């Protein structure tokens, strides 16, 4: 049993359903304290946030991640208890195994290995760990970022341990994420009896041409790293339930997943222009749940790419697909942010698992990246 496997098991057994840390960060602190790390907890509304740093000089390489996990779902549908780490057929099963307790364990063991070999390394190493990533994410990483920004503490390179790989460890890293901008559109009409169309104004009929134009609009062409921005409807609701009543309103919920080729201000302006062109009477409430971020090819992408090649032999691919991550917050104070972790096929599912054979290579990739950036 390698040390990364043992630590992953020790983390899985702690039932850290979001936003409960369940002692995971204390376990990590106990491992890192002998290495000379300084620890600071920036907790908020029941969320546990750890900022740990070794060194005071630049460059600062930060490992970022979360100890909280999503709910298990029906426990009787799991082959083994989700909080009892179990190895079957070369896979380690347990809630959070892939997302992201394997990465947390590999953070710690890679740092331990690196510091033993390079006790006087240049720059600094940090960890930013939260228990509020799988939840609403309002009291987690963003609170640490705000505290660091307030005192002018910046990060040069950050590796977020999200599970990014598709079919083999090392095949994919995320060097950015799309932004998420949602809208709740309420189009107003005049309710009335369906048999008297001259006395009503049907908001569904009125909204239809605008919906068609919004769906057909090319918002941008994307760029080298991002696909074009996508506009999608998630919900439409209108009507009283009766078959003889024209509704007074129709509610349409939609979402943009947008690249760095568009700003939220531009997208909002263009939506309003289309709605106004069609003469709609409407209310529109916006929610910006994540802005896009991008780390182009540079020193961090090169370092982790070279580490992956050394350990696995693979030429990794850059990707910006998927949902949002805490990288969107960290990018405010970090020059370069990438995400890299295990295969993501089982995350959030029943019987979540990670390959035992991938755990030590994951540690080695993180450690080799440290050597590329911080070894003298």
What are the average pLDDT values for consecutive 10-residue runs of the chain, which has 376 residues?
94 98 98 98 98 98 98 97 98 98 98 98 98 96 98 98 98 96 98 97 98 98 94 96 97 96 96 98 94 95 98 97 92 97 98 98 98 96
For residue 258, report the phi and psi dihedrals to the nearest 5 degrees.
-120, 150
Asked if the bond preceding 59 is cis, omega within 30° of 0, the reply is yes
Angle at 129 between CA 57 and CA 365, to 5 degrees: 70
As given in the structure block, the two tokens for residue 76 are 């009787």
| Separation CA 48–CA 40 (nearest Å) | 11
Question: CA nearest 87: which of 357, 361, 293?
Answer: 357
Per-residue confidence (pLDDT) for residue 149, from 0 to 100 = 98
CA 35 from chain centre, in angstroms, equals: 29
The catalytic position among 20, 68, 139, 339 is 68
Q: How far from 327 is each of 227, 246, 333, CA to CA, in Å?
A: 19, 46, 10
**Known binding-site residue numbers for Zn(2+):** 66, 99, 134, 162, 348
Domains, the chain, ordered by start: 3-177+293-374 (3.40.630.10), 179-290 (3.30.70.360)
At 129 the three-state DSSP class reads strand
Tens of pLDDT, residues 113-170? 999 999 999 999 999 999 999 999 999 999 999 999 999 999 999 999 999 999 999 9
- Whole-number pLDDT of residue 324: 85
The active-site residue out of 133, 139, 339, 358 is: 133
- Six token digits for residue 19: 């936003």
The reported pLDDT for the residue numbered 289 is: 83
Rounded distance, CA 200 to CA 218, Å?
A: 34
Which residues are part of a known binding site? 66, 99, 134, 162, 348
DSSP 3-state assignment of 291?
Answer: coil
Q: C-alpha angle 304/375/128, rounded to 5°?
A: 60
Does the annotation count 68 as an active-site position?
Answer: yes
Quote the pLDDT of residue 205: 97
Cα angle 315, 309, 305; round to 5: 75
According to DSSP, the β-strands at 192-193 and 179-188 are unpaired
* Residue 278 pLDDT: 98
> What is the model's pLDDT at position 27?
98
pLDDT at res. 93:
98
Measured CA to CA, the distance from residue 236 to residue 232 in angstroms comes to 11
* Confidence at residue 51, expressed as pLDDT on a 0 to 100 scale: 98
Residue 241's pLDDT is what? Answer: 94
Q: How far apart, in whole angstroms, are the C-alpha atoms of residue 25 and residue 69? A: 13
Q: Which pLDDT score is estimated for 80?
A: 98
Closest by CA to 237, choosing from 203, 281, 206, 282, is 203
Assigned token pair, 317: 């691919």
Show the tokens assigned to 131. 């228990």
- The predicted model scores a pTM of 0.91
């Amino acid at each position: 049993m390698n040390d990364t496997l043992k630590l992953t098991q020790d983390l899985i057994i702690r039932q850290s359903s979001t936003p409960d840390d369940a002692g995971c960060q204390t376990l990590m602190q106990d491992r890192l304290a002998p290495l000379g790390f300084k620890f600071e907890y920036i907790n908020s509304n029941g969320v546990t946030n750890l900022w740990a740093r070794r060194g005071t000089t630049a460059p600062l390489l930060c490992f970022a991640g979360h100890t909280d996990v999503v709910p298990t779902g029906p426990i009787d549908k799991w082959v083994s208890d989700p909080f009892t780490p179990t190895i079957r057929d070369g896979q380690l099963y347990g809630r959070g195994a892939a997302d992201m307790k394997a990465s947390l364990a590999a953070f710690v063991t890679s740092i331990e290995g690196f510091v033993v070999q390079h006790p006087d390394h240049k720059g600094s190493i940090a960890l930013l760990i939260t228990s509020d990533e799988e939840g609403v994410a309002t009291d987690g990483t963003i609170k640490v970022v705000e505290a660091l920004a307030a005192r002018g503490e910046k990060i040069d390179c950050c590796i977020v341990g999200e599970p990014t790989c598709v079919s083999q460890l090392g095949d994919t890293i995320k060097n950015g994420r799309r932004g998420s901008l949602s809208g709740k559109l309420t189009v107003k009409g005049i309710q009335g009896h369906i048999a008297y169309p001259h006395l009503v104004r049907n908001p569904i009929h009125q909204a239809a041409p605008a919906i068609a134009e919004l769906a057909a609009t090319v918002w941008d062409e994307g760029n080298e790293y991002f696909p074009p921005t996508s506009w999608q409807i998630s919900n439409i609701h209108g009507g009283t339930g009766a078959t003889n009543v024209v509704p007074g309103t129709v509610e349409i919920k939609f979402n943009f997943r947008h690249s760095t080729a568009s700003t939220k201000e531009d997208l909002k302006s263009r939506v309003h222009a289309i709605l106004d062109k069609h003469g709609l009477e409407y209310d529109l409430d916006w929610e910006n749940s994540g802005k896009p971020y991008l780390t182009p090819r540079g020193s961090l992408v090169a370092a982790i790419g070279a580490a992956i090649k050394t350990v696995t032999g693979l030429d990794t691919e850059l990707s910006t697909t998927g949902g949002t991550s805490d990288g969107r917050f960290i990018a405010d104070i970090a020059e370069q942010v990438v995400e890299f972790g295990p295969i993501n096929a089982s995350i959030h599912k029943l019987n979540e698992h990670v390959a035992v054979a991938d755990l030590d290579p994951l540690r080695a990739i993180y450690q080799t990246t440290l050597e590329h950036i911080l070894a003298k």
